[in-house]
Amino acid sequence: MLINNIQYQYFTLNKIKMKEELLSKLSECTELGKINLASPFPPQLKGQNGVDELTREALDSGISPEEVLEALVSGMGVIGDKFSAGKAFVPNMLMAAKAMSAGMAHLKPFFNSGQVKRKGTFVIGTVFGDLHDIGKNLVAMTVEGAGWEVIDLGVDVKPEKFVEVIAQYPDCVVGLSALLTTTMNNMEVVLKAIKEKFPEKIVIIGGAPLSQEFSDKIGATGYSSSPQGAVNLLNQLVA
Amino acid sequence: MKYNKLAINTPEGLLFGNALYPVTTRRGLVIGGGSVIPELNFTLPTMTINAQSLPAIGAHYKGIVTDAIEHARHLHAPGVIFEFETLLEMTQTPSIGIDLVKIMNEVCEENYVKRGFKSEIRLTPNDLREFDRPPLCRTSSYLDAMWELFDKGSLAGGDLLSIESTGGKEIHDDALMMCDIKASVFALSVLGVRDMKMLWGNIVAIAHKNNKIAAGDTACGFGNTAMVLAEKGFIPKVFAAIVRIVTAVRTLVAIEEGAVGPDKDCGYEGPYLKAITGTPISMEGKSSACAHFSPLGNIAACCADLWSNESVQNIKLLSGMAPTVYMEQLEYDARLMNQALKEGKPTATMLQRLFADSDKSLDPQAIILTPKNVIAISEEIVKGTNYIDASVRAAVKGLDIIEDAFNAGQLLIPEMEIVWIDMLRLALSEIPTDESKFVEEMLPTLEGKFIPSEYGL
């Protein structure tokens, strides 16, 4: 009996250790942008399983989808923090985001069934009259990596489009982007249209010429000057 | 490719204020004819552009030009080029842009007739085709508005014609974010080149019809986007430097199609164009910090024939309105360079060396712009059997220059960027120089992101 107990405990401990190692590896592969076995990036992990295979393995071994998601988000968080600290480049973030997407594909059935929930839905677009999207894309990618569902409306987005999409995702948070001093005022027009239909809607703004002062002036919920700042702001506003 | 040898093959030959083929404007400004001339660029303060605000907008532009000329005269400046880079609405509705050219040209003309002061307007309509995603480069209805503004705006007084064209940008934006040099070369040297041929063939035809100057382009949306992203720490500076080199091959096409210079101010690829074609160039550096930061503040002046501030909002500063303030800064920059030129070649080349030496060791984007390295890289461009080959050769030369300088302890590169030198070298070696092979290889990876037929593919 004693031997059986020891064997059982050893087995359990071993299983916990394997689980921890697998989730840790999953998190690391997400951070480093290792998508799957075939992907050549990063060079030091060439020939090894990536997020795609590890996620499948984790789910098949009985690890809960919530824990898998947590590992993916944690990996993205690490690379996000490195990026914020100037220790990683955008391509590192993008590869990590691609790796995370490979894992998220396996989690899709659990999202659809409601077993696993995202942090929320984030609708983002560059306001009408403005065609700049690099900053907007960065924010979208970073927010998605932090566990949000992102609906990217693209550039030159009219107020009515924002309103239409918000109606489809009533619980969403909205992000507006603009780069030009002549288009930043269009944010106020978009914001007004949104608030007319959805007075309580959380709307955050960002873009090179903007400031907290401008955000306050037009009545936006918040402003961020960086992608990671946008994630922090969302977490703070929605928590 | 039209050019197979350099027009200027010595660093001294690239001296500021001097081009092999100077351009003379209607009112007698000689660009690249022995002196550096300020090019003032400006934009509106934060305001909405609509029918109600048009009178106020007109007043802004009239006030900017009037005050700038008055201050330029006060400073005994020999002349100034005003760049009217339109805002989107001013190209979308060409009559707005045309009216603003008229308003500014009246001020220029009055000062020329009454006071003999020489000024000229560079008209830069927007490339509106970006509104379509993916863009319809050849069949877009936006082209009609663009051509109308080029045509009627030039007749209204926009004597130098330019554009920041964006063909291939739909691919290049992603290439920048992924630091994918292969996709960058494809966007610039296949799509960009093909688009430039179409665009500049038309712009040159309009310029010839109206007896105006087809000045030149800039790969601002490509090279400067890379530079700004690198400044923010988003992408490696080494990558931004190599992208800059490749942009030169694309922007060269404007001159192949008949543009005569000066290219547009934000085209930091200008020195390569000057070396290859001998045409005058406009540059911007430390005095354009009002618009964007750069690691090229001094070195940008080495080969400049026009010296620009990129853009500044018409807002009040302590001393005066911002464009007038920048008129003064540009004039003092130009005055120093012109004094050096007056004192003779030894003084001028010493100033050129100081411009280069003060920046070159601090950033890979700077070292590729020393006059000596501009010549070396340009030599590789003209050796190219086609635009792709030219781009790859020049990019590899740029990497050699950067790596050699780093290994010799003469160039500062952040530790985390070192790995990118080999990664870029490897990626460049995998680019097929045959265009059809390159297209065949890239098409499956770029499906849906651009429309091949819009580039004649």
Tokens describing residue B237: 């500076």
Asked whether A48 and A37 are in contact (CB, 8 A), the reply is yes
| Beta-bridge mates of residue B79 | B118
Chain center to CA of A95: 13
Look at phi and psi of residue A173 and say left if phi exceeds 0, alpha if psi is from -120 to 50, else beta: beta
- Most B CBs within 10 Å: which of A92, A182, A215, A226, as the mutation test of the B interface? A182
Task: Name all domains of chain A by residue range, CATH numbers in brackets.
Answer: 2-113 (1.10.1240.10), 121-237 (3.40.50.280)
Report the alpha-carbon distance of residue B245 to residue B379 in Å, rounded: 12
Compute the 3-state secondary structure of chain B and give helix, strand, coil in percent, each to the nearest 5: 60, 10, 30
pLDDT digits (tens, 9 = 90+) for A136-171: 988 998 898 888 999 999 999 999 999 999 999 999
Asked whether B207 and B161 are in contact (CB, 8 A), the reply is yes
Q: Is the dihedral of CA B320, B324, B326, B331 positive or negative?
A: negative
Gap from A60 CA to chain B (nearest CA, Å): 32
Number of CB pairs, chain A paired with chain B, less than 8 A apart: 60
DSSP state of B177: H
Provide mean pLDDT across the span B362-381. 98
Tokens describing residue B363: 């950033």
Residue of A89, A154, A155 with shortest CB distance to B179: A89
pLDDT at A2: 62
Q: What is the pTM of this model?
A: 0.89
Question: Do A94 and B177 count as a contact with CB atoms less than 8 A apart?
Answer: yes
Q: At residue A1, does pLDDT exceed 70?
A: no
Question: Do B177 and A134 count as a contact with CB atoms less than 8 A apart?
Answer: yes
Residue of A87, A94, A138 with shortest CB distance to B416: A87
pLDDT digits (tens, 9 = 90+) for B285-331: 999 999 999 999 999 999 999 999 999 999 999 999 999 999 999 99
Q: At residue A15, does pLDDT exceed 90?
A: no
| Beta-bridge mates of residue B316 | B321
pLDDT at A3: 66
Residues 84-113 of B with CB under 8 A from A: 87-89
- Most A CBs within 10 Å: which of B48, B50, B310, B422, as the mutation test of the A interface? B48
The interaxial angle of helices A65-84 and A134-145, nearest 10 deg, is 140
Look at phi and psi of residue B310 and say left if phi exceeds 0, alpha if psi is from -120 to 50, else beta: left
Amino acid at A57: E
pLDDT digits (tens, 9 = 90+) for A188-231: 999 999 999 999 999 999 998 899 999 999 999 999 988 888 99
Model ipTM value: 0.83
